[in-house]
Structure 1
Amino acid sequence: MKPVIGITCSANQTSQYLADDYIKAVRMAGGVPVLLPAGGEADIPLLLSKTDGILLSGGGDVDPSWFGEEPVPGLGEIEPGRDAFEIALCRFAIQADVPILAICRGIQILAVASGGDMFQDIYSQGKPPLLQHKQRAARSHLSHTVHVLPGSLLEKWAGSETMKVNSFHHQAVRTVKAPLMVSARAPDGIIEAVENRNARFMIGVQWHPEALAAIKDPVSLKIFSAFIASCKTV
């Protein structure tokens, strides 16, 4: 039976929505996508009982109050309701060992939900010189290199200790807490991927493999295939 994959949505004051590439990538890998709108935290246990895996999607900025900081000038638009829902969803999923694939904003939610923290704005808080992490090119363009940890799942999928990714962010994970570990960094030191090898599947990436899967990028296809395989029910 095909696994059901719950995908979180972007949100603003009047709408909740999701880029089609997430849906296409899940279907391409053999999953059945369902959208999880923000809100209704009390219903999260029920939602998790109906889904086999969680995809934390990209989107707007994360409220720094979740990791004990005041907002800096470079912080962008936040949606508090989405933050509250996704952090609660992530914590429930971690506790239940539900497979998690966390993309862009999602890797930041995963890190914060696990006790870590993040840069609100890498260009004012990070250590220069920094790369261009918000590329001015198509979403399918491979913008910059990342260095992959030897022995990590990413190295297994990439077949190399370096790979190229697309990039659309100004926030980033700053610190992670065990059992998460950093599995890739950009040449400027910005964290690009985390994983938990003790979980059924728990990977966070700062780039957008769903956009690269659309052009049949081999590593992106392997990420989604491995995620969906970990979610399969008997």
Structure 2
Amino acid sequence: MSQPLIGISTYQQEARWGVWTLPAALVPAGYPRLVQRSGGLPALLPPGDPDTAAAVVARLDGVVIAGGADVQPARYGAEPHPRTGPPSLDRDAWELALIEAALAARVPLLGICRGLQLLNVALGGTLVQHLDGHAGPDGVFDHHPVEPVPGTLLARALPEPVTVPTYHHQAVDRLGRGLLASAYAADGTIEAVELPAADGFALAVQWHPEAGDDPRVMDALVAAARGAAPGA
């Protein structure tokens, strides 16, 4: 299969276009564009019944968990910090179910920003609920360097330090079960995690590759999905 089907999780919120203001399933266009640039076929996944996640993942060759709202602190046993944003409960439940289904079925998985945080929470980890210096003004990406850890899955895709687009105020605190930190920012913030014990590809980055011009992280997911696809 030359073009694997890559599912991308989406927001569900009110949006306005033309004369309409209605609930909509949304994701920034950079996500499907990056999948296409890397040779995949994007499929948008609106929040749904978590019980159907395994059936959805079974039809995909790879899964991307996109960025977005803060994860509900109760998911990792914490009280909300004053700077923690309102959670998206339906999306939390849906994307956690997608992560669990992808790991169980060994479907290649890439988490982006919130997706990294959810992967960590899914495996029993916790989050720093607020930190400074990793976002620009509202709606503006900042940029900072990250240092890949040699010998990791991430370092095979990004073997050298890179400057990345970033927009987050939360990050990994305690790593989840089996996760390995595979990149760091200069201030020590974990910028990528992966699951070495996974039989396949499970990687997440804290930055936003869909907002930059370096496709190599998505290239790695699509390559893994192509190899995992039936008939590949």
Does TM, scored on the shorter chain, surpass 0.5?
Answer: yes
- Deviating beyond 2 angstroms after TM superposition, the runs of 4 or more aligned structure 1 residues are 11-16, 135-139, 153-160
Determine helix, strand or coil for the equivalent of 1:175.
Answer: coil
Secondary structure in 1 matching 2:67: coil
The number of residues matched between the two structures is 217
Amino acid corresponding to residue 10 of structure 1 in structure 2:
Y
**Partner residue in 1 for 2:19:** none
**Contact 2:58–2:105 (CA<8 Å) still a contact in 1?**
no
Q: In the alignment, which of 203, 213, 224 is matched to residue 230 of structure 1?
A: 224
Q: Which residue of 1 aligns with 2:11?
A: 10
Listed one character per residue, the Cα deviations across residues 99-120 of structure 1 (whole Å, up to 9, x for unaligned) are: 1000010000111011111112
Cα-Cα RMSD: 1.7
Larger proportion of helix: 1
More strand by share: 2
CA distance in 1, matches of 2:179, 2:100: 13
Identity of aligned pairs, percent?
Answer: 39
C-alpha distance 173-7 of structure 1, shift in aligned 2 (>3 A):
same
Q: Deviations over 1:79-103 (max 9, x none)?
A: 1110011111111211111110000
2:78 partner letter: E
d(CA) in 2 for partners of 1:148, 1:182 = 9
Preserved contact between residue 148 and residue 159 of structure 2 (Cα < 8 Å): no
Q: SS state of the match for residue 122, structure 1?
A: coil
SS at match of 1:166: strand
* 3-state DSSP of counterpart to 2:166: coil
1:189-223 C-alpha deviation (Å, 9 max, x unpaired): 111100123331111000001121xx3x2xxx221
Deviation at 1:173, TM superposition (A): 1.4
Q: Is the 8 A contact 1:10 1:58 kept in 2?
A: no
- Give the TM-score of the pair, scaled to structure 1: 0.87
> Aligned residue for 2:144?
144
1:40 equivalent to 2:49? Answer: yes
- Structure 2: stretches of 5+ with no match in the other structure: 15-22
Does 2:114 match 1:105? yes
Aligned to 2:18: none
Where 2:116 maps in the other structure, the secondary structure is helix
| Amino acid of the structure 2 residue aligned with 1:40 | D
Tell me the distance in 2 between the aligned counterparts of 1:3 and 1:104: 23
Pairing 1:177–2:186 present: no
Structure 1 residues 114-123 or 80-89, which shifts more? 114-123
